[in-house]
Chains A and B, each alone.
Chain A
Amino acid sequence: MSQDADATPEEKQKPRAKAQIKHSSWSWFATPQPIKHLFDKFPLEIYSENELPQRTAYERDPHALYVFTTNDGARAGAPSFNPGCLKWQAYLKFRNFPFITKSSNNHASPTGALPFLLPASSSSTSVEAPPSPVPSNRIQRWTRDVREKRIADSKSSNLGNKEAKQGEAQPETRASTEEATASSDIWDIRYEAYMSLLDHRIRNAYLYSLYLSPPNFDAIAFPLYIAPSTTNTLVRITISHQLRAAAEAELLKQSSRIDVEAIYQESEKAFAALSDLLGDDEYYFKEKKPGLFDASVFAYTNLLLDKGLGWRDTRMVNGLRCHPNLVAHQKKLKKAYF
């Protein structure tokens, strides 16, 4: 998106350039003309670009999802401790997508935020450019594309192998059912509305509860996010200050004061609404398999109900525990997929 914003003025500049150079050339700090002419001659020679280093194929074979996790957790495929990462990790698992998790941090991501997915390079053609990473907001589309491609491939190969009518019918039906489950973009008027509960109300409460509530920050955020990155006390203090300031700034965008009571109450209402939406069903929107919405809910409920994390300020956790069906939903998904 930022690229778009940058591009506009650049392109507009062309017709205007004549008028502007006249005005902007005079300044105390402008480079004197002779020196400018001299430097315009540089560089004398421009070498051609080096090729990007190609990694060994075996390392890149499976798709790799980069998430916040510990090194041990990455090897075991344990759920990430960041809700944004866990949502996509869970989603890929629900879709039975083969991938490995890798421990990483925001600085590694091309978009500046985790998670991102590095698709497996097609091993046979090593000449082609390495696959570009998929940021989190495109993962859903990417999985759909991959599936469709795979279906199309299997279809064409099947057709090529045997032209018998029976053989044709089989992949056709399989493709259609698979497609239905793969996209599974059930459109429900409630989908967007209830998703906004997760993306805003519950996220706000989670942000406050994890970063700004001091007991939780010391008990959970510090050992998970800050301690692994450095052992230097000064740097740790700076990072934790930055993290908290970022969380505070995020919450202050919505109001001029962070009204803690209101935030918690809203999250409690949101959990009640989500619990009501789930009802006695197994998965959200009466699906047979868990989908993206289940993954989004699971991302928060799994973290809040994880006893290993050790929540000290348990206001939010208690709000969640009031709804047995949400707790059961989390338990079932955790057992089945992690």
Chain B
Amino acid sequence: MALELHILGPAFSLPSIDPQCLAAIAYLMRAVPRDRWVLIASSDTALSPTRDLPAIKDGTTTIGGFQNIVDYLDTKSNGQWHLDNQFSDSTDQADITAFSSHLTTHALPLLDLSLYVSSQNYTTTTRPAYTHLIPWPTQYFIPPTRRSLAKIRTEHLGLNSLDMDTVDDEERETRKARNLVPEALRSTNKHRQTVTGLVKQSQGGMRFRLDALVDALCEPLEHLLGDKRYFLYDREPSSLDCLALGYLSLALVPDVPMKWLRERMESRWPGLVAYARSGVEECFGGRVGVEDALLVDRAERIEAGGQLPWRAPELKGAKFAEKVIWNEVLDRVPLFRTTILTSPSNPESESASSQRPSPSSSAALLPTIVTATTALAAVAGYLLYAGFGRESENRRLSDMGEAGAILAGLDFGNPGPETKAEVPVMRGGVPVGLEVDVAVDEKG
């Protein structure tokens, strides 16, 4: 039976929206014979014992996570499907480990900032991409969850001014505080214009720091690559090459409005860019659309000469949404929530996911199902609310068309739609902060 590789679906003309999934696709393309595996864009994180895709399903065994998949393929094929086994030198193995770690730890924050934290890129590119991949209503809470996780991960970098929502929030907070504090006690020096302040305002400082982050990622990698075709040797790729392809392609391919990541890489690290582009061509074979992954008839695909062995996911539409919501509910029930997996790679002790009641098998437990359904409704409502709430902070009633205009008229409490909310509409690659100031000046 063929191995099933489950991934998050395609986006930005790449076969997946997630770097680890892309890495896994590249690895299987290079290591496993094509007729031995299929690619399924199921987007169903509950499949994986680690709750993260990619996951590989081999009969009853499911393995989640890129490194675990590499190890599993190694044991399953007795070392035949292991790209790194050809490097007998221990220094090569050490380099693969070290640079993989370097890549994941430095590239992930950059992708987080570029695709999720930056409000502009998120609303114009990432969120719409998710809308195409996953059925209604899951797009209202899967992308925001991923976004808030990305924000947490990049918090320490102090670059949250990329995110217009937090900037507005902070502004609201300071405004509130200002109204409470007597005039004489308000510190005046905060409003003094400094050179650093001006630089920051024009986002020059932020750009500078982002560029430094990009350089920290690329410099060691480009030196390791040199003139070679792959990172270690000319002839054969390693698992590091697959991992790098996953992260670098997501940095280079998506067409986002704020292109700092791509621009810096193209201007400063052309070797790495050329390497990633040729890797995308080699492994993923040109543009991949959502329809390729979700609607395909397999026979048609092969005739059309598609490179990736797609198979349509079993769960679609409402059924998928039901499963996702159900799992979200269970995740929020305190006693059900298991965050620590002690032996997931052990196939005998099946993971937590299989011990959980599935929606169909719990029919015998009537009381449970009653409470669970109530909880489901409540949490689904909460999730929708939270999803909307988080994303629509800057929306006003008047943004909701005619009904909104009527409701806005009824809403005496709010002093009408704020003009400010319209400001962060961007054109071209103009930096966020600069644009805001200019727009206000025009009005005032």
Contact = CB atoms under 8 A, between A and B. Distances in A.
A193 to B, nearest CB: 4
23 contacts: A1-B157, A5-B161, A8-B161, A8-B433, A9-B174, A10-B174, A19-B440, A20-B171, A23-B418, A24-B172, A41-B184, A42-B182, A43-B184, A212-B340, A255-B50, A255-B51, A257-B49, A259-B68, A262-B50, A265-B67, A272-B93, A273-B98, A276-B91
Contacts of A128: none
Contact of B97 (A20, A259, A272): A272
A120 interface: no
Interface string A18-53: 111011111000110000000111110010000000
B353 to A, nearest CB: 10
B343 interface: yes
B220 A261 contact: no
Contact of B102 (A193, A256, A272): A193
Interface string B4-23: 00000000000000000000
Interface string A261-292: 11001100110111011000000000000000
Contacts of B152: 253
Contacts of A31: 179-180
Given A42-B184, A200-B105, A261 B344 contact: yes
Interface string B132-172: 00000000000000000100110011101100000100111
Interface in A168-203: 189-194, 196-197, 199-201
Those 10 A-B pairs whose CB atoms lie nearest each other, nearest first: A1-B158, A273-B94, A276-B94, A256-B51, A193-B102, A189-B223, A193-B98, A273-B97, A196-B102, A11-B197
Nearest to B170: A9
B52 interface: yes
Interface residues of B, number: 76
Contact of B341 (A18, A26, A39, A257): A257
B224 interface: yes
B440 A266 contact: no
B65 interface: yes
A194 B98 contact: yes
A8 B433 CA distance: 9
Contact of B167 (A4, A9, A190, A276): A9
B443 interface: yes
B444 interface: yes
Interface of A: 1-2, 4-16, 18-20, 22-26, 30-31, 39-43, 46, 189-194, 196-197, 199-201, 212, 248, 252-262, 265-266, 269-270, 272-274, 276-277
Interface of B: 45, 49-52, 64-65, 67-68, 71, 90-91, 93-95, 97-99, 101-102, 104-106, 149, 152-153, 156-158, 160-161, 167, 170-172, 174-176, 179-180, 182-185, 190-191, 193, 197, 200-201, 205, 216, 219-220, 223-224, 338-346, 415, 418-420, 433, 436-437, 440-441, 443-444
Given A19-B419, A261-B344, A277-B94, A256 B45 contact: yes
A15 B171 contact: no
B179 A24 contact: yes
Given A8-B200, A193-B101, A262-B68, A257 B345 contact: no
Contacts of A252: 339
B436 A12 contact: yes
Contacts of A191: 220
A261 B97 contact: no
Contact of B98 (A5, A42, A196): A196
Contacts of A190: 95, 98, 220
A39 B180 CA distance: 10
Contacts of B182: 39-43
Contacts of A269: 97
A44 to B, nearest CB: 9
A12 B437 contact: yes
Given A40-B182, A40-B184, A259-B341, A11 B101 contact: no
Contacts of A26: 415
Contacts of B50: 255-257, 259, 262
A6 B107 CA distance: 26
Name the residue in B102, B158, B344 with the highest tally of chain A Cβ atoms < 10 Å from its Cβ. Answer: B102
A30 B98 CA distance: 57
Contacts of B95: 190, 193, 273
Given A15-B440, A15-B441, A273-B95, 4 more contacts: A12-B437, A24-B179, A193-B220, A276-B94
B98 A253 contact: no
A260 B342 contact: yes
A262 B65 contact: yes
A257 B51 contact: yes
A338 to B, nearest CB: 28
A3 B167 CA distance: 13
Contacts of A39: 182
A194 B91 CA distance: 12
B52 A255 contact: yes
Contacts of B183: 40
A19 B444 contact: yes
A6 B197 contact: no
Nearest to A24: B175
Contact of B200 (A7, A257, A274): A7
Contacts of A2: 158
Nearest to A258: B340
A40 B104 CA distance: 54
A79 to B, nearest CB: 26
A12 B424 CA distance: 14
B55 to A, nearest CB: 12
B193 A270 contact: no
A230 B34 CA distance: 62
Nearest to B412: A26
Contact of B420 (A19, A194, A273): A19
B345 A261 contact: yes
Contacts of A20: 171, 175, 420
Given A40-B183, A256-B45, A12 B433 contact: yes
Given A7-B200, A8-B201, A259 B65 contact: yes
